[in-house]
Amino acid sequence: MASTIGWELYRSFLGVLREGSLSGAARQLGITQPTVGRHIAALETALGVVLFTRSPNGLLPTAVARTLRAHAETMERTAAALERAASSQGDEVRGVVRVSASEVVGVEVLPPILTQLRQAHPHLKVELVLTNRLSDLLQLEADIAVRMVRPSQEQLLARRIGLIEVGLHARDDYLQRHGTPLHMQDLTSHSLIGFDQENAFIRSLAIQGFERSAFACSSDSDLAQLALIRAGAGIGGCQVQLAKRDPRLRRVLPEGFALMLDTWVTMHEDLRNSPRCRVMFDALVEGLQRYVQD
C-alpha cells in the first residue's frame, strides 16, 4: 500500500460515492470524467482494494468503500477547515466561517444578522449549513453552531441565548372556517401539522394524548410545516417570536401547549482568537438575543 496518497484521489472517491457515476462526480467536482476515472483507478491500486463495481444503475460501492467513506469525509472536513483557516490569516476580519443552524433559524432569523455583519466586514464569507442534526464542532463539520440544546463537550465555547418558545398557531382564515379550539381535546376535530419522526414536539403532544397518527399533514422539514401553517392548512407548531411577524397567524391554546427550546451559540475553543470567528460568534449572540427578547 502506498504510504502517501494525494487528497485529490479521495476527493474523487467521495464524488463517485455521492453521485453514483464518474460523469456525475466530474460535474460535481468541476473536472473531467477521465480524470475521475484515473483517480479511482489510482486509489484502488494504492490501497490494493476494489472500491466500485459496475451495474446498470451506475457504480456501486463495495463494502470496503462504504467502510472508508467516514474516514474520507473526515479528511474532507479537515481540508475545508484548513482552507478556511488559511484564508483568514492576519488581524483583518476576512475568510470563510461555516455556520450551522436549524432550518427555521437559518432561513427566518439569521439572514438579517448575517447581512448586517457582512456590511461591516465585506471580506467575510459565510457558509450557512441548514440542518436539524447537531453538527459536530469537534469533527470540524462547522466553525460555529446555533443549537437548541446545551452543549456538553468541554472543548466548546458556548453562550446561552435564552429560551425560544414554540406554540400552536394557525392562520386567521383557517380558524374562521373551523373555529378556535378552547381545550387541547378540541384539536381532535382540527387538521394538525407535525413531524414524521418522533422528536420533542411529538413527545410534548403525546403527553396530551396526541400521537403522530393525529397529524393531517406531516413533514420532517420545519420549513415545510411553517409553509403549511402560513398557507392555512391547519394548526402546527411555530416559534412565538416568528409568528409575531405575521399578522395573519394566531396562537391557540397558549396555556395548553408551550415547548421551550434552550438556545446556545457554540464554537470550538481553539477558534476564540480567530478574528473572523470571533466577530461571527458575537454577532450571532447579539442578534439572537434581540430575537428572543422581541
Going from the N-terminus, what domains does the chain have, and what CATH number goes with each?
7-86 (1.10.10.10), 95-160+262-293 (3.40.190.10), 164-261 (3.40.190.10)
Q: What percent of the chain has pLDDT over 90?
A: 58
* Mean pLDDT, the chain, integer: 87
pLDDT value for 3: 57
Q: What is the pLDDT of residues 129-140, one digit of tens each?
A: 998 776 656 566
pLDDT value for 136: 59
Residue 48 has pLDDT above 60, yes or no: yes
pLDDT band at 207 (very low <50, low <70, confident <90, very high): low
List own/partner pairs for 13-22 with CB under 8 A and 24 or more apart: 13/39, 13/40, 13/43, 13/51, 13/65, 13/68, 13/72, 14/69, 14/72, 14/73, 14/76, 16/40, 16/52, 16/59, 17/61, 17/65, 17/69, 17/72, 20/57, 20/58, 20/59, 21/58, 21/59, 22/59
Q: Name residue 128's beta-bridge partners.
A: 99
Average pLDDT of the residues in 160-178: 96
Q: What percent of the chain has pLDDT over 70?
A: 88
Q: Which amino acid is at 101?
A: A
Q: What is the pLDDT of residues 236-287, one digit of tens each?
A: 999 999 999 999 999 999 998 898 999 999 988 878 888 888 999 999 999 9
pLDDT band at 200 (very low <50, low <70, confident <90, very high): low
pLDDT band at 210 (very low <50, low <70, confident <90, very high): low
In total, the chain counts a number of residues equal to 294
Q: What is the pLDDT of residues 149-161, one digit of tens each?
A: 888 777 788 999 9
Nearest to 134 by CA among 156, 114, 118, 112: 156
Residue 106 has pLDDT above 90, yes or no: yes
Which range (15-19, 37-41, 138-142, 266-270) has the least confidence?
138-142
pLDDT value for 245: 94
Average pLDDT of the residues in 56-68: 89
Phi, psi dihedral angles at 195 (to 5 degrees): -95, 155
pLDDT value for 255: 92
pLDDT value for 140: 64
Residue 180 has pLDDT above 60, yes or no: yes
Between these two residues, 168 and 268, which has the higher pLDDT value? Answer: 168
Decide: 97 and 280 in contact? Cβ < 8 Å. yes
Q: What is the CA radius of gyration of the chain?
A: 23
